[in-house]
Copies of this chain bind each other. A is one copy, B any other.
Amino acid sequence: MYIICTYDVKSKNCPKFMKLLRRYLFHVQESVFEGELTPAAYKKLTKELEKIITDDDHVAIYYSYNSKMIKKQEIGNSIDKTRFIID
């Protein structure tokens, strides 16, 4: 499965989401992660997300069972990853 995970969460909750998602996916934008996961790993990730999410948070996960079916185009400069250092 190819996964694109985006989240819109309270800023105080950001570090928790970043730490969790980094264990499974690549951090490509401030609140966007992507990567290949097995269905089992995907299930585990969603369970962990459900544990940390609060009423103020929203996570959207787009996925395809066939990674070749999702294409990507980037415009502008891919961002400076050091900006995402979790203190």
Within 8 A of B (CB), among A1-20: 4, 6-9
Number of copies of this chain that the complex holds: 2
A51 to chain B, nearest CB (A): 10
Seed contacts A4-B62, A59-B75, A61-B72; 20 additional CB < 8 Å A-B pairs: A6-B6, A6-B29, A6-B31, A8-B30, A29-B31, A29-B58, A32-B32, A32-B60, A46-B73, A49-B75, A50-B75, A53-B76, A55-B76, A58-B74, A58-B79, A59-B76, A62-B62, A64-B71, A65-B69, A66-B69
Give the B-binding residues of A (Cβ under 8 A).
Answer: 4, 6-9, 28-32, 34, 46, 49-50, 53-66, 69-79
